[in-house]
A = this chain, B = another copy of it.
Amino acid sequence: MGQELSVVGKRLPRPDAAAKATGIARYTIDIKLPGMLIGKVLRSPYPHAKIIKIDKSKAEKLPGVEAVIAFEDVPKKLFNMAMDDLLIRDQVVRAEREKQDQYVLSDKARYVGDAVAAVAAINESIAEEALELIEVEYEELPAMFDPIEAMKPDAPRIHDYAERNLAWHQSFPTPVGDVEKGFQEADYVVEETFHTSKQKHCVMEPVSCIASFDPTGRLTIWSPGQNAYPERRKIAELFDIPEGMIRWITPHVGGGFGAGTSLRAEPICIVLAKKTGKPVKLEYTREEQFVGTETRNPITQTVKMGVKKDGTITALQTKFTMDAGAYFSHSGQVGGANLGHLMSLYRSLNTTAGGDIIYSNTPISGAFRGFGNPQGMWALEQVVDMAAEKIGIDPMEFRLKNHRRTGDPTWVPFIPIENSEMEKCIKLGAERIGWREKRGTKNDGVRRRGMGMAIMMHSSGDYPILMEHSNAFIKLNEDGSANLVVSPGESGQNIVGALAQIAAEGLGLRFEDIHTVWGDTDATVFDVGSHASRTCYVTGNAVLRAATEAKRTVLDRAAKTLGVSAEELDVREGRVYVKATPDKGISVAEVARDAIYNFKGEVLQITGKCSYESWQSPVSEAAFAEVEVDTETGEVKLLKMVLAHDIGRAINPMTVEGQLEGGMVQGIGLGLTEEFLTNKSTGVLETDNFATYKILSTLDMPETEVIIVEQPVASGPYGAKSVGESPMVAITPAIANAVYNAVGIRIKDLPITPEKVLKALKAK
């Protein structure tokens, strides 16, 4: 690169900002096709029940109803709604791990909300009326709402294959050293068990989908999915339709956070469209969104750590019991991310890790920003504080001593950490929150202040576990602008803007010269999509390489015009110039126009294309929380949060800050307010709207500060790593550690509610 960057690193407005702000951006819900029907889903009122009989006849007779479907109408093929299974590199693991345990409509009810039938009608009210006319005869079965019950020997099986409802036992990463010997060598062994909650994504846009077959049998799907191509492949396999006969269109998307990495309403919508021969739209209500889509997997996690007095970690062990909910979905991936990230944050010569994934009669758990990492850090980063306390050293010093560094292995032994700025993150974060000045000063009043911290590492993509394949195609227009053709799974994170910045820099154009084409599998090029914080790092690399190829052609043609060699040229902000004599040059527009409108018989539309698979380069992060605990009410008031993030290169610092702040909001919600409460006897979700499920509003937010630490890495586009998931990972343990620092109690169950705090204070 050599020269100063002109587009990358700039705080540029996202390309869709104006469309979204003015309301002209079109979401799936805004699309209306001629003759389109409205679909609705009938959901089980029982958490666990055999379906004896479904009588559709009354519903079918209701005028305006065009189809009523149940188990008998769907493919007799089990599938897994997650798309990751298609990408797992290890085919043995793939076969073993990604459980195919779900039908499009259930053969039996496995949670309150399980989809058992659906209708398509000419409007919403008729569709709703029809649902009431479907007569389902259930035979209730005992229901299990948590893994402990589900694992009991006499518990009925939720899925036939899963003995004691154990879906899968994971042991990853491979054990290192001798963990028992490690614990024996320790001066102190700290062991504690923690529990996380069933957090909900709370995306702005509820699930919506349109499916439409054309007269040739070609299927078009409109859906805010994050991974159009693998989801298309999943549909293809489920319905025996070749991939090319499916077009997946992704309109503007109102939030992803992992919720869009699975199939959701699409399969039911497709069955309805096929049966009626008409386009069908299926939208979830907010209540359905809560009950009928994935949540974060609750994990009960034990972390055992052996430490010496000098702070050395001699052994580290973890075990979890994970609640998969009623279907497996992404749970295997969540477990892997939990164990992998947990075990590779700190140096330890002796480690083992494992866990059990258990079915329960609760809504499906699975893909959610951070996957298992936030659950793991909730446990590990509290144990770290406990260990530091035992030894009597500052937990920050303990972390600075033990965190893995550049060149240390990641969770995959053959992939070292390309670069870690963890030390800088910790030190900068500590400085900004006033760690050394404030942490010592305790007070004894009703309101007591405390300070806590936590750190984490997170992957950029999931190489080598998953196949991380992205493509980019670039074509130059005659005005010197470029169309960037990609499919990164834009779901609100501004990846389209970031990729456009990379393309502009790579081509030597201005940001406004990049017009990105995305959201249509016919028009775009293959990409596994948006998951595992991969797109900027992986798709970004594909874009940079495609841009470099196109730029080379621009320079070659400019060289002929200018009478110099291409090596003597560079291009910046739309102008090719001679490096030695920058006044001599030619605009990219002139080059591109001459190539397209070439009257000398040398026509060319300048293009670049790259198929790329990533390497892996994890990011580091340190979170700091200052809290005030009201000892009379138990209320935890968060005064300030500081988050320092080691990103490699911030392609657009404004977007990165948005991700960091957004991650904080979700992390604080997970830590303090968000509760997914199911009635313990009926299994009915009692918090299925924003009146009862409390997410943070602007007014609830503490003072926040985000710090972007930049040290470009060789493997990333312009040195970029990732920022997607990580910002929420270390928030909850930082708050918990601050609460302990304030009042000496350790809350082990999320969220940290006033009730739990008061109870712990009393117990103390």
Contacts and interface: CB of A to CB of B under 8 A. Distances in A.
Interface of A: 15, 18-19, 21-22, 24, 30, 34, 86-87, 89, 91, 214-216, 218, 233, 236, 242-245, 247, 467, 469, 471, 473, 475, 477-483, 485, 513, 515, 517, 520, 522-523, 525-526, 589, 596-599, 601, 603-605, 607, 609, 611-613
Given A215-B19, A478-B243, A522-B515, A603 B612 contact: yes
B479 A242 contact: yes
Nearest to A25: B214
A215 B523 contact: no
A525 B475 contact: yes
A611 B601 contact: no
B86 A597 contact: yes
Given A477-B244, A603-B613, A609-B607, A483 B522 contact: yes
Contacts of A611: 603-605
B596 A526 contact: yes
B24 A214 contact: yes
B478 A513 contact: no
Give the copy number. Answer: 2
B603 A467 contact: yes
Q: Which of A21, A218, A242, A612 is packed against the most chain B CB atoms within 10 Å?
A: A242
Given A91-B599, A469-B598, A599-B91, A243 B613 contact: no
Contacts of A245: 479, 481, 515
Nearest to A86: B597
A699 to B, nearest CB: 29
A245 to B, nearest CB: 8
A599 to B, nearest CB: 5
Contact of A216 (B18, B243, B471, B513): B18
A310 to B, nearest CB: 42
Given A91-B599, A478-B243, A611-B603, A517 B523 contact: yes
Contacts of A515: 218, 244-245, 247, 522
10 contacts: A86-B597, A218-B515, A233-B478, A243-B479, A244-B482, A244-B515, A467-B598, A604-B611, A605-B611, A609-B609
A737 to B, nearest CB: 41
Nearest to A22: B215
Contacts of A247: 515
Contacts of A15: 216
Contacts of A607: 473, 525, 609
B481 A599 contact: no
B244 A513 contact: yes
A236 to B, nearest CB: 7
Nearest to A485: B523
Contacts of A242: 479-481, 589
Nearest to A470: B603
A382 to B, nearest CB: 38
A526 B605 contact: yes
A693 to B, nearest CB: 32
Given A18-B216, A215-B19, A242-B479, A523 B526 contact: no
Given A243-B481, A244-B481, A247-B515, 18 more contacts: A21-B215, A24-B34, A24-B214, A91-B599, A236-B479, A242-B589, A244-B479, A244-B480, A244-B483, A245-B515, A467-B598, A483-B522, A515-B522, A520-B523, A525-B607, A526-B605, A598-B613, A607-B609
Closest 3 CB pairs of A and B: A244-B481, A18-B215, A523-B523
A215 B24 contact: yes
Contacts of A34: 24, 30
Contacts of A469: 596-598, 603
A146 B475 CA distance: 48
A30 B216 CA distance: 21
Contacts of A91: 599
